Copies of this chain bind each other. A is one copy, B any other.
Amino acid sequence: MNIGSAAKASGVSAKMIRYYEEIALLPAAKRTASGYRDYGQSDVHRLQFIHRARDLGFSVERIRLLLQLWNDRKRPSREVKSIATAHIAEVEDQIRRMQGLLKTLRHLADACDGDGRPHCPILEDLAEQGRAH
């Protein structure tokens, strides 16, 4: 299986497969006589794991840890859960931060008539130094 087929089978682009190999998230692939990378079923499985974890927003570094635990059949589930929990906390933080922004932004947008006249509370707010608002 060459890199293109592995990409199709796993949902990870060929570009990213090479990148993951470079940063040692994947072991260096076997090569054919002509130098093409050669993948097997277990490589695809690993790539699918990575793909799904990326979809869930895990960073590459956290995926590195998850892969190690995945390959360690005696890992305590505690360790996996703590990685997931840390990730959840970060996502929650980001959401909270953005909801704070949204509140302010909606407030400003609501106050702006959005018509042909120049008066605009949005610009006024940006200009008047950083009231918490």
**A contacts, CB < 8 Å to B:** 11, 45, 48-49, 51-53, 55-57, 66, 69-70, 73-78, 80-82, 84-85, 87-88, 91-92, 94-95, 98-99, 101-102, 104-106, 108-109, 112-120, 122-123, 125-127, 129-130
Which B residues are in CB contact (< 8 Å) with A102? 88, 91-92, 95
Question: Oligomeric state, in number of copies?
Answer: 2
Could you give 20 example pairs across A and B, Cβ below 8 Å?
A11-B130, A48-B127, A48-B129, A52-B129, A56-B101, A57-B98, A70-B123, A70-B127, A75-B118, A75-B120, A76-B116, A77-B122, A80-B123, A81-B122, A82-B114, A84-B112, A88-B105, A88-B106, A91-B101, A95-B102
A16 → chain B, closest Cβ, in Å?
16
Judge whether A49 and B118 touch: CB under 8 Å: no
